[in-house]
Amino acid sequence: MISTKGRYALRVMLDLAEHADEAHVPLKDIAERQGISKKYLEIIVKSLVEGRLIEGISGKGGGYRLCRKPEEYTVGEILELTEGSLATVACLSCGAPRCDRASECRTLPLWFEFDRMTHDFFYGKKLSDLLATE
Amino acid sequence: MISTKGRYALRVMLDLAEHADEAHVPLKDIAERQGISKKYLEIIVKSLVEGRLIEGISGKGGGYRLCRKPEEYTVGEILELTEGSLATVACLSCGAPRCDRASECRTLPLWFEFDRMTHDFFYGKKLSDLLATE
DNA sequence: TAATTACCTATTGACATAGTAGGTAAATAA
DNA sequence: TTATTTACCTACTATGTCAATAGGTAATTA
């Protein structure tokens, strides 16, 4: 289940891509256009800045801007950064303690396969792919 | 993210499939073999009975049994029954209020596509497919 | 100097997850 | 008949995550 964090992050990135001509886009504008609380977006945007996907400039005339061109972002990296992980079952998460039944587990291969499919799907999509849709 | 409910349900179904020769399998045995609390399994097994995937018989010599052959179950129906839904984003869940931005949403097609892929993946797998692995 | 913007820490209410506790009802074996 | 074994039932709880809100400080420009 993908949470609002990942979904909103994607919408912020798309909003920035659509307003890439403006030097910097204030979060206030994004919040208004997207109909999302600015306060909540602050949290999400913080992750995006820390992950070097966007950069922010303070002060009047400041705001946020993409660091790269839209075709140079994958949806996967945006989601993974804001969601923490794309892993679909706890067994496969990074911090998860290694299950001692793993070797004989009948279901683990299924989760592996699904995880792989999910990863390939989202890393195969570029931000620009979503932009192009009309 | 698939929770323990769905994952344990799958393991219960597999355990039952592997012991289909025995008339009925007590939950106690399943819990011991799988290393899962019997009390917790009760909750999960209840869903499976209500969904007519398995049947239970009380009393000495009782236990649970599959209603069909392993190749007649899909992983999807087992997960959907116990997880409630396989929907990956809130926008697509059954009870979700229809988003008024849906028509112009740049991200919705992505979620639709992912949802479709997930659905096809899990409904394309049969219980017997997991059983066969060695 | 005032306005505007990003950026920071902390808090909260609601809900889901992952169980536990303590029973009752049904069926069989002794 | 009685004891045992099993399913089945309702309720409770601790923990954590989600989705936000609150109330600031620092930086930059007009």
Instruction: Give residue-wise pLDDT tens across range A46-83.
Output: 999 999 999 999 999 999 999 999 999 999 999 999 99
Residue B60 has a pLDDT of 94
Contact (Cβ atoms closer than 8 angstroms) between residue A92 and residue A111: yes
Contact (Cβ atoms closer than 8 angstroms) between residue B106 and residue A133: yes
Cβ distance of A117 and B114 shorter than 8 Å: no
Residue range B80-119, pLDDT digits in tens: 999 999 999 988 887 777 788 898 899 999 999 999 999 9
Selected from 1.10.3720.10, 3.40.50.300, 3.10.580.10, 1.10.10.10, the CATH number assigned to the domain covering A4-87+126-132 reads 1.10.10.10
Please state the pTM of the whole predicted model. 0.94
d(CA B103, CA A3): 20
Residues B41-51, mean pLDDT to the nearest whole number: 98
Classify A39 as helix, strand or coil.
helix
Q: Give protein residues whose Cβ lies within 7 A of nucleic acid chain D.
A: A 3-5, 36-37, 39-40, 42-43, 57-62; B 25-28, 42-43, 45-46, 49, 56-64, 90
d(CA B121, CA A105): 19
Contact (Cβ atoms closer than 8 angstroms) between residue B10 and residue B16: no
